[in-house]
């Protein structure tokens, strides 16, 4: 197995087989710039570029976002990944001296991470059959759990890009209209604040207006993935979604992890997705494996707890609709995607109760509260609660991971 010239634990999310991209700064150099992560170190790619260690000087590693790098396309992405592998591998290219290596490697604890991408548009899908079925049963009964269109197309809605925030950003409890059955609406702080366990993917190269992205070529346009928590105010949503769907219940915060894991790093973990019946229409049909075996975990820690408690374990391979299908459907009308656009998968739930990806499902709309240490219980999130999501692909003696996305709930203003 390929090894790096620095020791990396088999349990680390960031071996040389990963090499994700993010934006960081340090106390010594406050300018945000592009880096990759290897074990417990950040590699300063702007410094490597300045030292002419790539096949050419690219210039975009000094940028405060990944957008210009992402816009260059798959050939450049793969060329840079290959060169980094040569430079960082054990016994690899020795063109850079020890002193240069020391300058390029920065302990992860010494950096501040920043939002990795300037996000132009954000679209959230609803691609988990298990999640859609659970929610449908709660609100419409078993006979009408899935809406008539759900098995024919990846359902989605346009979200709010301006409130996509980096992991660690405080989440302020939203206020809005809430209507209890039979009563007029009130303007209150949400009592049913929830998380949603999702993955997000970034568009690297877009498409011109009126020219759809085909299902065969969709993978060429996806740069990489992050963990995504689409915080949701369920009581606000229940009143406002009739008939147009999520609005204020989802627009106050969406948290993402700081490291963008590339599709090349995830390629060894591609798996066949669930069987789709009825067969999708031709523009959505693909015979290639399009699922990803990504283990996902959610922990919850209240203000009174000393340690976090795991409340959900799921996997991205459960998704009924693939990222390629989401992208092909999104653009089939001729909608033009742009570099930096973010798409969310929607809540990723499995078949068993402890694999459900939201409190709405885990507590079955509050009917079965989660028991926490010290006698606490949760139907929905309380002020002071911290939610942490983690994700990784497990290889033979190594893992390719995403780190974590975390958020703490604070009272409404």
pLDDT tens digit sequence for 32-83? 999 999 999 999 999 999 999 999 999 999 999 999 999 999 999 999 999 9
Q: Across all residues in the chain, what is the average pLDDT? A: 96
Span 95-104, average pLDDT: 85
Q: Tell me, what's the pLDDT at 196?
A: 98
pLDDT category at 94 given cuts 50, 70, 90 is confident
Distance, in Å, from the CA atom of 331 to the CA atom of 344, rounded to the nearest integer, reads: 15
Q: Is the pLDDT of residue 98 over 90?
A: no
Q: Is the pLDDT of residue 387 over 80?
A: yes
Query: What dihedral angle (degrees, nearest 10) is formed by the CA atoms of 104, 109, 111, 115?
Result: 120
Q: Write down the architecture of domain 122-410 according to CATH.
A: Alpha-Beta Complex (3.90)
Q: First-to-last CA distance in the chain?
A: 52
Instruction: For residue 3, count other CB atoms closer than 10 A to its CB.
Output: 16
Tokens 């991205």 -> residue: 316
Distance, in Å, from the CA atom of 189 to the CA atom of 411, rounded to the nearest integer, reads: 9
Distance, in Å, from the CA atom of 377 to the CA atom of 379, rounded to the nearest integer, reads: 7
DSSP letter at 39 equals T
Span 241-250, average pLDDT: 93
Q: How far is CA 240 from CA 144, 159, 246, 250, in A?
A: 21, 15, 7, 11
SS3 category, 185: coil
Sequence-ordered alpha helix ranges (H) in 2-95: 45-50, 67-70, 74-88
Give residue limits of the domains in the chain. 21-114, 122-410
Determine contact, residues 346/127, Cβ cutoff 8 Å: yes
What are 345's two structure tokens? 């998968």
Percent of the chain with pLDDT over 70: 100
44-48: long-range contacts, CB 8 A cutoff, minimum separation 24 = 44/103, 44/104, 44/105, 44/106, 47/103, 47/104, 48/87, 48/104
Q: What is the pTM of this model?
A: 0.97
Domain 21-114 -> CATH class: mainly beta
Active site residues: 131
């Amino acid at each position: 197995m390929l090894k790096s010239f620095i020791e990396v634990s088999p349990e680390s999310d960031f071996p040389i087989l990963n090499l994700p991209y993010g934006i960081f700064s340090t106390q010594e150099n406050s300018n945000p710039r592009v880096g990759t992560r290897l074990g417990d170190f950040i590699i300063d790619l702007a410094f490597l570029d300045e030292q002419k260690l790539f096949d050419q000087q690219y210039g975009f590693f000094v940028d405060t976002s990944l957008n210009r790098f992402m816009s260059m396309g798959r050939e450049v992405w793969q060329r840079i990944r290959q060169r980094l592998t040569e430079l960082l591998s054990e016994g690899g290219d020795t063109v850079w001296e020890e002193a240069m290596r020391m300058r390029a490697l920065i302990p992860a604890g010494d950096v501040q991470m920043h939002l990795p991408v300037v996000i132009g548009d954000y679209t959230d899908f609803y691609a988990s059959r298990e999640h859609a079925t659970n929610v449908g049963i709660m609100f419409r009964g078993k006979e009408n759990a899935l809406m008539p269109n759900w098995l024919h197309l990846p359902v989605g809605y346009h979200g709010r890009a301006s409130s996509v925030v980096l992991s660690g950003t405080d989440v302020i409890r939203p206020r809005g209209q809430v209507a209890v059955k039979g009563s007029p609406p009130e303007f209150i702080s949400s009592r049913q604040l929830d998380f949603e366990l999702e993955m997000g993917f970034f568009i690297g190269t877009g498409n011109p207006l009126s020219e759809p992205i085909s299902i065969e070529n969709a993978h060429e346009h996806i740069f990489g993935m992050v963990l995504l928590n689409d915080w949701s105010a369920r009581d606000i949503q229940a009143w406002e979604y009739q008939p147009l769907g999520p609005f204020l219940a989802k627009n106050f915060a969406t948290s993402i992890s700081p490291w963008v894991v590339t599709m090349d790093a995830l390629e060894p973990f591609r798996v066949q997705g669930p069987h789709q019946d009825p067969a999708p229409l031709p523009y959505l049909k693909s015979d290639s494996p399009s699922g990803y075996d990504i283990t996902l975990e959610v922990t919850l820690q209240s203000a009174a707890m000393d340690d976090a408690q795991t409340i959900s374990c799921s996997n991205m391979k459960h998704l009924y609709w693939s990222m390629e299908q989401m992208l092909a459907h999104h653009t089939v009308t001729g909608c033009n995607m742009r570099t930096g656009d973010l798409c969310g998968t929607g809540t990723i739930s499995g078949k068993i109760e402890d694999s459900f990806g939201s409190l709405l499902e885990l507590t079955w709309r509050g009917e079965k509260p989660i028991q926490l240490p010290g006698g606490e219980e949760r139907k929905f999130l309380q002020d002071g609660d911290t939610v942490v999501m983690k994700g990784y692909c497990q290889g033979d003696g190594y893992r390719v991971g995403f780190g974590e996305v975390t958020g703490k709930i604070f009272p409404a203003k």
